[in-house]
Each structure stands twice: as C-alpha cells, then as structure tokens.
Structure 1
Amino acid sequence: MAIDANEIERYIFDPENPKQCKSYKLLLNIAKKKNSNFISPEFLQYFFAEQIITKKFEEELWDKPDNYRSLTATEKLEPFKTKVSYNDLFELVQTIDFNVDKILKFSFLNSLNNFYVDEQIIFNDDNTIKYNLNYLKENIIMLDNDYSISNIRGEEYNKNYILFSKNYFEILNGNISKSSIFI
C-alpha cells in the first residue's frame, strides 16, 4: 500500500500516543496472529548496547573518535571493527552472556527470522520462546546491508511480519503476501 506524502505523519508511531498512529490497529492485529518477525542488527545493537559496550570493550578500543560519547551503539562498533578487528569484536561478543529479557517481554514476537538461518528460536516445554543466543551472537555485529532476502523460502512469504529495521529497506521488496508492518 502506498502512503500519500501528505498523510505520512499519521503513520509514524509515537510511543507517547500509540493510538494516534493510523497503523496502530494493524500492528495490534498482526501481533495477535501467529506472526514472524525480523529484527535487524541495528535494532539488536540498540537493545543490547549496554551489554556489548562495556568497560572491557572500551579498554580494548585503543583509539576512539573525538565524538565517541555521542555515537550510537552501531557507530561505536565501527571503530572497534576497524581499529582492533572484526574477529576480535566477534570473539568479544561470543563471551557475552546476553540477557534477552528485553526482547522476550514482547509476547507478540512469535517467531524470529533472519533470512539466513533456520531454527532461530527454540520453544520451551511450555511453548514460550527462548531466544537462540547463537543467532544473536552471529548477527548482532552484522550491518543491515549484509542481509539478503534471496534465501527466503516460498512459505516464508505467506506470513504476517513485524519487521524491525533501521536502514535495511530491501526487505520491503520481499514479496511478503500477508499484511505486515515495518517499524
């Protein structure tokens, strides 16, 4: 559905006034259904910034940009990748025991999908979701543009999606055939 440029403000979600968002009911309807979700690395970096960017992280990052304190979590990871190394960052992330309660509190996250790996989530005996930490640790330091929609199986298109992404818009070309929302 194309949105009229004059009405775009009505589609932007404001957490202070969620019901004013024109797509709020769509989000609620999708959240109530058996949906699938995509959370881009930039969102994961935002959710888990304080668990990654720790004193240990900052001690290893020997050369910080002058504006380091004002950078986003994603921007703080970049100097580590270039000044130290991507592999060192990957190893550092592997040692983190992530507290995933921030994501699990959103009960509408029925299924997480990264479009590369099957079995991203594990269901507990009571059918609640347990986040697959291997997925998190492998994908949290990727960039949104490292993703590809080319590996989506046909049945993946026929789902309702809640897509969390900051800069990865190619996902909108994925021919998803059911109502979905991009946050």
Structure 2
Amino acid sequence: MKPRMLVLLGLPAAGLTVAAARMGAAGYDRRARLLAILGANRRARAWMDFGAAVLPVVAGAAAAATLIAPALVFNVTLPWIDFTLAARDLRQAAGSLLLSLAGAVAFVLMITLLLQPSAGRRSRRTHIRVADSGLLRRLALAACPAFLVLAVVTGPLLGGGQRSAFGYLFAVLGVWVTLPSVIG
C-alpha cells in the first residue's frame, strides 16, 4: 500500500480509536482510583480495563467480518467509483483479511490499555475543562474550516484527481488535527 494511502486511512482510524478508548473515561478513571485506594496494582487495573474493552472490540470485529462476508461469495460493485470487487480475488486474500482483523483487535486493545491514566495522578479540578481559550484553540477554530474548504476543492469529488493528491492529503490531515478543538 502506498504511504500516502496508509496515512489517509490510518490517521482517521487511529484518531477514532483514541476517541473510542477514552470515551466515558471519567467513570473509568474514578474506578481505577478507587481500585488503587483499595490496594489494586497496575496489573489488576489493566485487567479491569481489558475486561471493559474486550466485548465492544470483539463485537466490532464481528460486525466487520459480517459486513465483508458476502463479498467473499458475490462480486460487489462499489458505489460512486463503479469498481467491481471480485469475490475470487477477495477469497485469495482471505488469510490477509483475517490477519488484518486480528491485528486490528490486538491494536485497539493495546491502545485502550496504554491510554488509561495512572490511578495515582490526581486532579485539583472539580469540573471537566472543555478546552483552553488560548491562542492554539483560536488558531484551530480558524484553521479547521480552511482545511475543510481545501479538502473539498482539491478532493476527488470536484475532479482534483492525482494532480492534487498531496493537497488533499494535507487538508484531510489538517481537518483531523484541528477538529477536536472545534468540537470541544
């Protein structure tokens, strides 16, 4: 796979993985602090995090496998691009697909465990801070729409094609970097 395509597909996947891993984090963080107070070590807290994450991750992998399974039997024409994905070709790559699915499950579980904060770290805040109102946030608020317009102008929908692939990749990365500040 080309490096640009890997970045274009991998960056959004990694961003969504991090967002999903920290979704509902306040409750998990309180539970981890409570377990630390009760004497649980880091390994016990990691098992708690693993247990909380394994069911949704495996369910997502099962949903992905269920969605791709018909394409192993029938030829599928992809909308908008008029490309037919041959079932025979997909069956030949079934081993790689299965390894990719297992690798994705392992990666998401690893990220989930690595992103859990230390239970000993305490915050003095009693409320959740949405975002800083500093210069960086204002720059992100201004840059996100600019990146979005650049992505639409150089993107494949308006016929940008290969001529502007770098501009499109740059714009998409810019949107992904600035979007959390805009949402926050």
Shorter-chain TM-score category?
under 0.3
What TM-score does the superposition give when structure 2 sets the normalisation length? 0.26
What TM-score does the superposition give when structure 1 sets the normalisation length? 0.26
* Structure whose CA Rg is larger: 2
State the structure with bigger RCO (CA 8 A, min sep 6), 1 or 2. Answer: 1
